[in-house]
Structure 1
Amino acid sequence: MSDKGEARVTGLGGVFYRVKDPAATREWYREVLGVDGPYGPQFDWEAEPMAHPYSLISHFEDDSYIKPGKNGFMINLRVHDLDGFLKKLEKAKVKVLDKADEGYGKFAWILDPNGVKIELWEQVEDRLP
């Protein structure tokens, strides 16, 4: 581990992308996913229940993992109690594209109203695999 006083990158600060209607997109994130903030969905790490939460940036040679998203990127959102959250999405009539349990985490995929693929991820191991 690196020294906490060392100048370094400490994590993902945000995801920024263009949409035709930012207000409608923010409303969808607020209503469907339950996340809000002054500039769009905002997450506070101190609210994270895992002892060692992590985020990652992953690179792919092609967009097969990102499809059916249309924009060449995907947003991964951390979720506490993915199964319970999927029940909420079902009530909101959000189509779940697929689900998987990889051992180190549980996953599900949806599309936002702009066709951006969102990967919902419940961290189940304390550290990176």
Structure 2
Amino acid sequence: MKKGKVLGIGGVFFKTENVSETKDWYKNNLGFNTDDWGCTFWWKDNEGKKASTQWSPFTKDTKHFQPSDKDFMFNYRVENLVELLEELKTKGVKVLGKIEEYDYGKFGWIIDLDGNKIELWEPKDEAFL
């Protein structure tokens, strides 16, 4: 069994008063190519494969970051999500819910020592191409 690990940042998610205005501000002032989900930044990983990082504003009343009461959530790109979550459990890390799988990857969630909800994503970047 190959050990799981973090490969990089998969996304930055944060709460805002007005999602549409926030996306427009970033588009008009910083050149973000925004869509319904926010902005996807494309890059190549260490092996030269296409990869992405997601930037997404959420409404102030989103429940997506719960049980954390923070206004943000980080998403880390990982390999071997199942193995990583199993290892984290043995270290006493709080794992939330069950792994969810979509055509663009697998997701799991943990709580860090500061109470931040962390999303772990084993991506299938080719699903975006």
Q: Same fold (TM over 0.5)?
A: yes
Specify the alignment match of 1:56 in structure 2.
54
Q: Relative to 1, partners in 2 of residues 1:53 and 1:103: Cα closer, same or farther, differing over 3 Å?
A: same
Q: CA deviation at 1:108?
A: 0.4
* 2:37 matches 1:77: no
Superposed counterparts of 1:1-129, under 5 Å: 48=46, 51-61=49-59, 62-98=61-97, 99-128=99-128
Question: Counterparts of 2:80 and 2:88 in 1: how far apart (Å)?
Answer: 13
Q: Relative to 1, partners in 2 of residues 1:100 and 1:81: Cα closer, same or farther, differing over 3 Å?
A: same
Is the CA contact 1:107–1:122 (under 8 Å) kept in the aligned structure 2? Answer: yes
Q: Which structure carries more relative contact order (alpha carbon 8 Å, separation 6+)?
A: 2
Root-mean-square deviation (CA), in Å?
2.9
**Counterpart amino acid of 1:78?**
R
What TM-score comes out, normalization by structure 2 length?
0.58
- Structure 2: state its 5+ residue gaps: 1-8, 14-42
Aligned residues: 89
Report which of the two has the higher share of strand. 2
- Structure 1: state its 5+ residue gaps: 1-10, 16-44
